[in-house]
A = this chain, B = another copy of it.
Amino acid sequence: MPYTYEYPRPAVTVDCILFGFDDGELKVLLIQRASDPFKGLWAFPGGFLDMEDPTIEFAAKRELEEETGLKEVFMEQLYTFGDVGRDPRGRTVSVAYYALVKLSDYLLQAGSDADQAHWFNISQVPALAFDHAKILQMALERLKGKVRYQPIGFELLPQKFTLSELQHLYETVLEKPLDKRNFRKKILKMNLLKPLEEMQAGVAHRAARLYQFDKQRYEELKSRGFNFEI
């Protein structure tokens, strides 16, 4: 059954830029397009907003789950892209969301061959469909801006991590080296890390202590307007 309107309407879609962090590299999930336009090129998971979706974010989460199986992720609206000509099929407005996930072997496996989904290192992203290169650029800028004043980096790390791993994540997202002493001082001063009794595994000598992110403490500090700037 066709739908009729007095004035023309653009299509409304959602796109989801999903970041992960593994083996010291920031990664993004892309899906190879099986059909035209841009057949064979890579694109973000996404799809149309359904009239029944209660919110746009709901649509973004639904699409992400459909294409990756992922349910509980940190997600925020990034920006809305709607330049004329960005989709050769017709005017399309896309509301983009970025999401962060803790990468596990299972997830890396899932995004390896089946249904064309693949995790790419940020430095090795292939040719992207539509205006997705521009969208990726903006998502990386947002991530960079965010980690500086909101501890969202923890969404990308495993539950337990060393201070070196944490610093390396920040350095990777910010694309610059950080002074080790200064970084540790600032991070520990925030009181967001719970030191564990456990030490790093698989290291014979000088194994480093493992830490956990204290989410409850974070929520408490946030509600008091605490400044988390790194």
1/0 per residue, CB under 8 A from B, across A28-39: the answer is 000000000000
Query: DSSP majority for the A interface?
Result: loop
Contact: B82 with A79, CB < 8 Å?
no
Q: Measured between C-beta atoms, what is the minimum distance from A24 to chain B in Å?
A: 24
Asked whether A115 is an interface residue with its Cβ less than 8 Å from the other chain, the reply is no
Q: Once the chains are docked, how many angstroms separate the CA of A48 from the CA of B93?
A: 13
Copies per complex of this chain: 2
1/0 per residue, CB under 8 A from B, across A1-20: the answer is 01111111111100000000
Interface size, chain A (Cβ < 8 Å)? 28
Can you list 17 residue pairs at the A/B interface with Cβ under 8 Å?
Answer: A3-B4, A3-B5, A3-B6, A5-B5, A5-B9, A9-B11, A9-B12, A10-B51, A12-B12, A49-B82, A53-B84, A54-B84, A56-B80, A56-B83, A77-B79, A77-B80, A93-B95
Asked whether A124 is an interface residue with its Cβ less than 8 Å from the other chain, the reply is no
Q: Once the chains are docked, how many angstroms separate the CA of A77 from the CA of B80?
A: 8
